[in-house]
Structure 1
Amino acid sequence: MTLTSPPGSVDTAAPTKGHRTGRWIKDWRPEDKEFWTETGAPIAKRNLIWSIFAEHLGFSVWLIWSVSSAFLLAMGFQFSVEQLFFLVAIPNLVGSLLRVPYTLAVPKFGGRNWTMVSAALLLVPTLGFAYAVTNPDTPYWAFCLIAATAGFGGGNFASSMANINFFYPADKKGAALGLNAAGGNLGVSLIQFFLPIIVGGAGIFGLVKASEGGIHLERAAWVYAGLAVAATVAAYFFMDNLESAKSNPREQLSVLKEKQTWIMSFLYIGTFGSFIGYSAAMPLLIKVNFWRQPLPSITGIGINFAFYAFLGALVGSMARPLGGYLADKYGGARITLFAFCGMILSTLTVLFTLSKLTVLPPPPAPDAVAEIAKDPAGFQFPEAVVTAIDANKDVFPWFLAAFLMVFVFSGIGNGSTYKMIPAIFRKDALRDTDPDSPERELALHSQAKKASAAIGIIGAVGAIGGFLIPITFNSPWVTEPLAATKNAFWIFTAFYVVCAIVTWAVYIRKRKGANADAGYVGV
């Protein structure tokens, strides 16, 4: 890397010839301890804070449909359970696909500049959401299209993580990336916590009552549109671009040829794909299996999803920096294997609780709901529904506890896998060069760029799990919701077993003979 400023200095003046205008730091050496202590750490911390804020909003917008979809029926939209599960899955698919171009955008345009653009793009899904939910004639295909634009928020994660990866030294990447990701992941929990309150539904375990004026989903959209503007302005004033992060797309996409990129992508489907997929599906899972309320004017019976939907994402987000910290201390591969073993045991426990549930009779058909609406005061729940709901309420605490443990271990795995990615590429550089040589310095810098590109690719593939999980819960070959849920968890458990085996075989098992030094033990 060519230094264009005196050693230890930070130059945020006009960019070099042929570059765009803006705040560009030309000299950035986080592995230099003196530079890091005196100059780098405060700048990195400032960029991390505002990166977390922007990414947090991105996650909130990305998952806004996960909880709002459960309120659509209360607003008079006649969508089936299958349509609702597909609606919450669409943003996850689009968000995963956008993570690749969002990652490439950081070296192309600068981390600060792209944070501004990506935050401003959140106005598209929020304003579209506000229009759709206030128009009773909005067709289902329009809802799907608007939900797809919420994927912009999912792309934010990849660019944010790729950007922050450049700012921190190797021994602090696990904690920094864990905090950055956790701050974003918390957006899922907070949107699921506050949206029912903002829109006049219910929340805080019933301490806040539903609005007598009905549900107003557009309120949440306006709140997050305003916050998107705030994030754009904050990035403009408080974030920086790094000259050393510049790279062309061909150089970045070279990581697609790396076998380790695809192995880690597979593992990340198991950790982050589980986190985002379960977060999207949890409100509907609770609603379908534990709650009945044909009309907002009728008091529901069972477990209200609005009181509990946010808990999974909350504990998963809080566990992510713990996974990064443990990975820094004990090694990412060991903690990742521990996380997958925990997810296996947790999903098996969830399956045990599901075996204790009573199958709920199907909800009333649209014609029956229309009849109920004519005289809601005279409606009484059928005895079979009341009996099944009462039985399932007793099982719910155990179901929730087991499900939350799945989130805890997925969060730990999220933090540890993101520690592994830069460690893998760094190990390649150390293996192929001599200590204290110029070649090693160049190799470490080149591998840091590859690691940031790989983070985006791996994040993109992993996020596909957020689409597959809701779709699997809505298995078209299983007509009864509870049976579909059980089948899905069996599939997920088997997948986690495979992930644990791969983690052990590739990153923990010690090799012998001529290949003893070729592995990645200790990453």
Structure 2
Amino acid sequence: MTAPSSSITTRKGGRWIEQWDPEDEAFWKETGEKVAHRNLFFSVLSEHIGFSIWTLWSVMVLFMGPEYGLTPADKFFIISMATLVGAIVRVPYTFAVARFGGRNWTIIAASMLLVPTIAAFVVMEPGTSFGTFLVCAMLAGVGGGNFASSMTNINSFFPLRKKGWALGLNAGGGNIGVPVVQLIGLAVIGANGGPRLLLGIYIPLIVVAAVLGALYMDNITSVKNDSGAAKEAVKDPHTWIMSFLYIGTFGSFIGYSFAFGLVLQTQFGRTPLESAYVTFIGPLLGSLIRPVGGWLADKYGGARITLWNFVGMGAATAVIVVASMEKSLALFTTAFIVLFVLSGLGNGSTYKMIPGIFQAKAAAKGLTGEEAASYGRRLSGASMGLIGAVGAVGGLGINLAFRQSFLSVGSGTGAFVAFLAFYAACFAVTWAVYLRRPATSGATAMTASEAKTQLSYAEV
């Protein structure tokens, strides 16, 4: 599966590809596709373990019974801080790919996962202070950064026509790290094992991911940090609009992944084992369907899929509100799992929109061919880290909303009402910016060219 020696050269710092043009179909068929798929596979592996470590504390809190002396609000705050750090580190992780190389940074990022895992292994016992647990959870946030660097790296390997599928598969494979750590946690709880057993399982897996990245991944020489592109992306309103929409999709996915088991324990009195039996199902299905969201976006347009996906998320949330008020565990659990599935689908469709939007902007500027593709890559690559970071902050908002709702009314109903209103706002923004047909009459009528540009966003 290695590329011809003429395409990959070795220099100080590891394997570097000097020439890379995935938009050239001949190059893609002869060399590029095999190399891209190999890097995608090992990128998914590293990101997968990163997600597991990031969401580790969604399982840890299930082990923390009364002997730990923590209230439900304390536990929600612990997982909130893990979410926050995971969101913040996504920004520097995005730029680290160009600074160090995709392969090299994968090795570094994977190795860094040992820090929170070993720290938790040392302190995980009754009598440890709340502050210590909080610091360990914050250290686990580095796992959230792996997503940003991995997506930025893989975005460079694939042509535009394949990005929806590739980014969806990369993200979905990483997202599966959430249900996997929860499944392993279920097995450990079921076997009457302690949290240190769970942590001990992951320490060697982290080492394996780092070693395999070193052996089989590549850096691309042409991928460089472009401060001009970063500044342009920050100033572009679409970066912030997509950040808002990504809060609705990925923010929901990661926020619910952290909170699902704790909500079942706190609101419905489930035991750790009873919670663990169902906690993993939603994140698993949401992860598996993410590539489908990317594929549907490739076929029908990301904006269209995203729009109707928010309708579905709103409907599922409304059912959850009813189930919460009626104290129906079966209906609550079923609707929550459906909401997970829709959040995963929306993750794929929204992330596919990013390169498409900037490609459409390139066309609006009159750019064509490689010049247009280059512009699209520059701006989409620069914006992805920021969008991913802001989206992950949505997970923090969800966990803090749950914390406040349980403190105020003793259930998560208030939080879900707020989420329902937010999904309605996401629907409105998606329609207004990317699907609404512009007016073409009167003094403020758009030119035909402007109207065509507006309408082209429906295809992103």
* Structure-2 separation of matches of 1:434 and 1:275: 36
Q: Answer yes or no: is 1:454 the counterpart of 2:391.
A: no
1:71 aligns with one of 59, 63, 76:
63
Residues in 2 aligned to 1:408 and 1:476: alpha-carbon distance in whole angstroms: 24
- 1:447, distance to aligned residue in structure 2 (A): 2.4
Instruction: Work out the CA distance in 1 between the residues paired with 2:419 and 2:340.
Output: 13
Contact 2:405 2:414 (8 Å CA) reproduced:
no
One of 120, 140, 145 as aligned partner of 1:150? 140
User: Quick one: distance in 2 between partners of 1:245 and 1:159?
Assistant: 12
CA positional deviation for 1:108: 1.1
Q: Is the 8 A contact 1:277 1:470 kept in 2?
A: yes
**Change over 3 Å in CA distance of 1:59–1:337 after alignment to 2:** same
Q: Specify the alignment match of 1:376 in structure 2.
A: none
What secondary structure, in the 3-state scheme, does the structure 1 residue paired with 2:23 have?
A: coil
Deviation at 1:457, TM superposition (A): 0.6
Correspondence for 2:277 among 291, 301, 307: 307
Structure 1 match to 2:9: 13
Question: Contact 2:405–2:413 at 8 Å: present in 1 too?
Answer: no
For 1:328 and 1:352, locate their aligned partners in 2 and report how far apart those are by CA, in whole Å. Answer: 35
Q: Which of the residues 472, 497, 502 maps onto 2:429?
A: 502
The residue aligned with 1:408 is: 341
Identity %: 45
Amino acid at match of 2:451: A
1:62 aligns with 2:32: no
* Structure 1 residue 10, shift from structure 2 partner: 4.6
Match in the other structure for 2:209? 231
Tell me the amino acid that sits aligned with residue 463 of structure 1.
A
1:477 deviates by 8.3
5+ unaligned residues in a row in structure 2: which ranges?
Answer: 441-445
Partner of 1:375: none
Q: Do structure 1's residue 481 and structure 2's residue 406 form an aligned pair?
A: no
**Residue equivalent to 2:294:** 324
Instruction: Give the secondary-structure state (helix, strand or coil) at the position aligned to 1:475.
Output: helix
Amino acid at match of 1:304: E
Equivalent in 243, 253, 256 of residue 275 of structure 1: 253
The Cα shift of 1:476 comes to 6.5
How far residue 443 of structure 1 moved from its aligned partner, in angstroms, is: 3.6
Task: Identify which range, 469-478 or 99-108, moves more after superposition.
Answer: 469-478
Q: What is the distance in 2 between the residues matched to 1:460 and 1:331? A: 24
Matching residue of 2:91: 100
Residue 521 (1) aligns with residue 455 (2):
no
CA distance in 2, matches of 1:306, 1:434: 52
Report the secondary structure of 1:101's partner residue. Answer: helix
Cα shift at 1:253: 4.1
CA offset digits 1:274-296 (Å, max 9, x no partner): 00001100000111122256xxx
The match for 2:177 is 187
- Please list the CA deviations of residues 251-273 of structure 1 after superposition, one character each: whole Å capped at 9, or x if unmatched: 43431111100000000000000
Q: Per-residue deviation at 1:73? A: 1.3
1:296 is matched with which residue? none
CA contact (8 A) 2:42 2:213 kept: yes
What per-residue deviation string (whole Å, max 9, x for no partner) do you get for residues 376-425 of structure 1?
xxxxxxxxxxxxxxxxxxx2221111111111111111000111000011
Is the partner of 1:474 in helix, strand or coil?
A: helix
Is 1:125 matched with 2:125?
A: no
Equivalent pair of 2:121/2:196 in contact (CA under 8 Å):
yes
Contact residue 360 and residue 453 of structure 2 kept, 8 A: no
Residue identity in the other structure for 1:176:
A
Aligned to 2:401: 472
Choose from 306, 331, 351 the match for 2:321.
351
1:419 partnered with 2:348: no
Match of 1:430 among 363, 377, 383: 363
The total of aligned residue pairs comes to: 447
1:287 aligned residue: 265
> Would you say the 8 A contact 2:226–2:378 is kept in 1?
no
Note the C-alpha offset of 1:66: 0.6
Cα 1:250/1:72, change in 2 over 3 Å: farther
Shift of residue 247, structure 1, vs aligned partner: 2.4
Q: Which residues of 2 match residues 200-279 of structure 1 at below 5 A?
A: 201-202=189-190, 210-211=191-192, 215-279=193-257
Instruction: Work out which of the residue numbers 394, 412, 419 in structure 2 matches 1:492.
Output: 419
- CA deviation string 1:280-316 (max 9, x = no partner): 00000111122256xxxxxx9xx81011110110111
Distance 1:350 1:450 in 2: 38
SS at match of 1:27: coil
Q: Provide the residue aligned with 2:305 in structure 1.
A: 335
In the TM superposition, what is the alpha-carbon distance from 1:218 to its structure 2 partner? Answer: 1.0
Secondary structure of 2:14 counterpart: coil
| TM-superposed deviation, 1:465 | 1.0
Partners of 1:287 and 1:121 in 2: CA distance? 32
Query: Amino acid of the residue matched to residue 381 of structure 2?
Result: S
**Equivalent residue letter for 1:521:** A
Q: 1:49 to 1:216 in 2, by over 3 A?
A: same
1:175 counterpart (158, 162, 165)? 165
| Aligned mates of 1:58, 1:128 — CA distance in 2 | 16
Closer, same or farther: CA 318–446 of 1 in aligned 2, 3 Å: same
How far the C-alpha of 1:48 sits from its partner, in A, is 0.3
Aligned mates of 2:206, 2:47 — CA distance in 1: 10
1:248 Cα offset (Å): 3.7
Q: Find the residue that maps to 1:61 and give its secondary structure.
A: helix
Question: Bigger radius of gyration, 1 or 2?
Answer: 1
Q: Distance in 2 between matches of 1:231 and 1:14?
A: 21
Q: Is the 8 A contact 1:320 1:411 kept in 2?
A: yes
Question: CA distance change for structure 1 residues 50 and 253 in 2, over 3 Å: closer, same or farther?
Answer: farther
Match of 2:36?
Answer: 44
Q: 1:162 aligns with which of 134, 144, 152?
A: 152
In 2, distance between residues paired with 1:131 and 1:111? 31
- C-alpha displacement of 1:52: 0.4
Match for 1:315: what amino acid? L
Given the superposition, is the C-alpha separation of residues 476 and 398 from structure 1 closer, same or farther in structure 2, using an over 3 Å criterion?
closer
